[in-house]
Structure 1
Amino acid sequence: MTTQAQLGDNTYTLERFPLDQKNRSLQAWDSGDEYLVNYVQEHYPDANSILILNDSFGALACAFNTLTVYSVNDSYIGHQATRYNLQVNELSSESLTQLNSLAALPNQVDLVILKVPRNLGYLQHQLAAISTALPADIDVIAAGKTKDIHNSTIKAFSQYIGETSTSLAVKKSRLIISKTSGLNKVAPFPVNWPLEGSEFEIQNHANVFSRDSLDIGARFFFNYLPQTSKARSIIDLGCGNGVVGLMTLKRCPKAHVTFVDESYMAVESAKLNITHNLPEQLDQCEFVQNDCLTDFQPDSVDLVLCNPPFHQAQAVTDHIAWQMFKQAKQTLKHGGELRIIGNRHLDYHEKLKRMFGNCKLLGSNKKFVVLSATKNN
């Protein structure tokens, strides 16, 4: 994997997180980062403070380390990677303030730069936050892959920030150039919708998977969730908005459920949904932002439920699923169970059989399989 990044006038060693992922062809920066750094160094040489949004692995925080930097990220892993890459490059973190995606933004900076997220709703949330936090006449410069910048992307900048233009493409990336104009627009998040087949109402923050309705994978998984009055320790791993853990808690009323996700908005959505729908069971729940189950107590839980992702940022990859399975096995008690749902084509059956020594098919349809693996050693 290439780890030497030329950003502006300097070369940095940049690593993706988690560090032990198998796909070493992926790198921790892209041409959009390069374009942003070159553009800012050329056009804003006197900037002293900068607000950075969606800096996936800290490339931009390293490049602008001499400035006062506020770095906003919805990713726990992104924050970890930023601190790590600053340390590897022997750069100070004293002038860096890391903010999660729901934190209040600073009300005065010289410049805003951001990487355009794939999720349009999350982009709208971030632009609205910029619009309400900052005064007029602050430049906002965004970068994204040319193929990912659509008319709706430009419209969002115009609607929430102000007059907007785009640059020429360089290495298949393009800049969006705008300036705050005091619009003070508010984005319509979180959103609410009824959970089909239940009395529950779901609340979702902007950057949560399947934000507006129940996704078809979770709908199928509901058919294979546990149901018992016996107290059990359960983890909803990669919990998203927490619907799997919510339905499990309803069926297992004495269980202790831990909701784990690397997205701050996901964990907060899960907490909202338990608080709103099962407030009397809130004290049976924990809500944790984490890199999968890193540092969880070994041999400590009875059941891990998981709908693993097969992408990270813009990259399609199965290393997160592998990490989830491996750490689930470590965290389960002897005789504990990992129960997952996955797309049929991802071949999780063979992965689990290799790792656990067993794997049972609980159910399937044309798109999904539900699998169970038991920790016997």
Structure 2
Amino acid sequence: MNTILTINSKELRLNRFPPSNDKNLQAWDSSDEYVINYLVEQQLQPSKILIINDTFGTLACALSEHELYWQTDSRVAQCAVEQNLSDNFLYPSIEYLDSLTTPSVTPDVVLLKLPKSNALLAQQLQQINQVMGPNTQVIGFAKAKDVHTSGLKLFEKYIGTTTTSLAKKKSRLIFSTPTAQKLTNDDQQLIEWPLENTDYTIANHAGVFANSKLDIGARLMLENLPSNLDDGYAIDLGCGNGVLGLMLADKNPQATIRFTDESFMAIASAKLNCDNAFGSTERFEFDWHDCLSDYDYDQADLIICNPPFHQLKTVTDHIAWQMFNDAYRTLKHGGKLRIVGNRHLGYHIKLQRIFDNCTTIASNSKFVILEATKA
């Protein structure tokens, strides 16, 4: 459902992606409005703007007259900005950057929406440190409740002298002046930990879910992975660091495994982990993608999934619905979808509705493993 934002002398029709019929959800928040209005009020006329973590493309649309360098970890966010620019007939000079690519230019202004973790914030600030000039204006923005001293210290460490604005509509801006020493390299920081009951070590980039330990839902799933795939084709949907697909490959050495996730850092982590575990990624495929949209019909023998039940900070089930519907389309007849989820989410109801069957494979006090077969 399109909603209208009037800002920077523009009337923008903006939509979340994937589209939602929930009238309470919109494609921007008050911190987006705050930072855009600040640029207008200060009459700043930057040539090159680096925009980081623009969740649905609101900033790209509002600032489309500038030369934009637009960086995200999220394939869904990139789909959103492309759709919203098209819907508003905007065709800016824009270069899309994934989260592990450092921009090749020195921006006049950097607009950084605070990410969900300080680990990811630190990595993004290190990238900014690599490209900022002495006159680059670095502006962070977020809901006021998400601006913490720990994050401000990271701005001080990697950028320089840092102050904050007054709060407006429960949002706040962060101003950081480039005075910090330039870093000598831009090596990406990896978090590593041993995978219990195996000889494997799992490596994660900063933005990946459960990047410091095995989450308890995945632990139950690992105990209930099939070992009868032979030379079949399987997909680890929403793969994260790839631990489920990796162990599926361990149990099925002849199978081809495809890893897909909307997080670029997740795909990079999964690829690294498979290479480290098996010395090669020859029988694996890796895809930075929005669920299984545009995948061919009837191609997979098995799909495994640990679906999210939120988008950003919004609790929602529409991503799980998309995953399950995409899985049904992508599976061969007789193919199986095996998922893990919190018991209270009621995924069995969705699977029953889509597949007309659902079997409980295993459960504990918090989680359940469910399997549905495409007839």
Normalising TM by the smaller chain, what interval? over 0.9
Which structure 1 residue ranges, 5 or more long, are not aligned?
A: none
Moved more, 42-51 or 346-355: 42-51
Secondary structure, aligned partner of 1:224: coil
Q: Contact 2:158–2:180 at 8 Å: present in 1 too?
A: no
Counterpart of 1:249, as a letter, is A
Q: Distance in 1 between matches of 2:294 and 2:244?
A: 23
Report what 1:238 is aligned to.
238
Q: Distance in 2 between matches of 1:328 and 1:120?
A: 33
Taking structure 1 as the reference length, the TM-score comes to 0.96
Counterpart of 2:26, as a letter, is Q
Q: Distance in 2 between matches of 1:341 and 1:44?
A: 51
Q: Distance in 2 between matches of 1:44 and 1:181?
A: 24
Secondary structure, aligned partner of 1:340: strand
Map 1:1-377 to 2 at 5 A: 1=1, 3-19=3-19, 21-93=20-92, 95-185=93-183, 189-228=189-228, 230-280=230-280, 282-376=281-375
Q: Contact 1:135–1:182 at 8 Å: present in 2 too?
A: no
Name the Cα RMSD after superposition. 1.4
Q: For 1:304-357, what per-residue CA distance to the aligned partner results, in whole angstroms no more than 9, with x for missing partners?
A: 000000111221111100000001000001111000000111010111111111
Q: Contact 2:7–2:37 at 8 Å: present in 1 too?
A: yes
**Cα distance, 1:213 vs structure 2:** 1.3
Q: Distance in 2 between matches of 1:232 and 1:135?
A: 52
Q: Distance in 1 between matches of 2:170 and 2:364?
A: 39
**Cα distance, 1:114 vs structure 2:** 1.3
**Cα distance, 1:182 vs structure 2:** 4.1
The structure 1 segments of at least 4 consecutive aligned residues displaced by more than 4 Å after TM superposition are 185-188
Cα pair distance change 1:114/1:229, threshold 3 Å: closer
Cα pair distance change 1:187/1:23, threshold 3 Å: farther
Cα pair distance change 1:229/1:331, threshold 3 Å: closer
Cα pair distance change 1:260/1:53, threshold 3 Å: same
Counterpart of 2:3, as a letter, is T
Q: Distance in 2 between matches of 1:371 and 1:139?
A: 50
Q: For 1:18-58, what per-residue CA distance to the aligned partner results, in whole angstroms no more than 9, with x for missing partners?
A: 13x45343111110110000011122422111110001111
Q: For 1:244-283, what per-residue CA distance to the aligned partner results, in whole angstroms no more than 9, with x for missing partners?
A: 0000000000010000001110001000000111124x21
Counterpart of 2:106, as a letter, is Q
Q: Distance in 2 between matches of 1:36 and 1:101?
A: 21
Secondary structure, aligned partner of 2:104: coil
Secondary structure, aligned partner of 1:283: coil
Taking structure 2 as the reference length, the TM-score comes to 0.96
Which structure 2 residue ranges, 5 or more long, are not aligned?
A: none
Counterpart of 2:18, as a letter, is P
**Cα distance, 1:77 vs structure 2:** 1.3
Q: Distance in 2 between matches of 1:75 and 1:245?
A: 20
Instruction: Report sequence identity in percent.
Output: 47
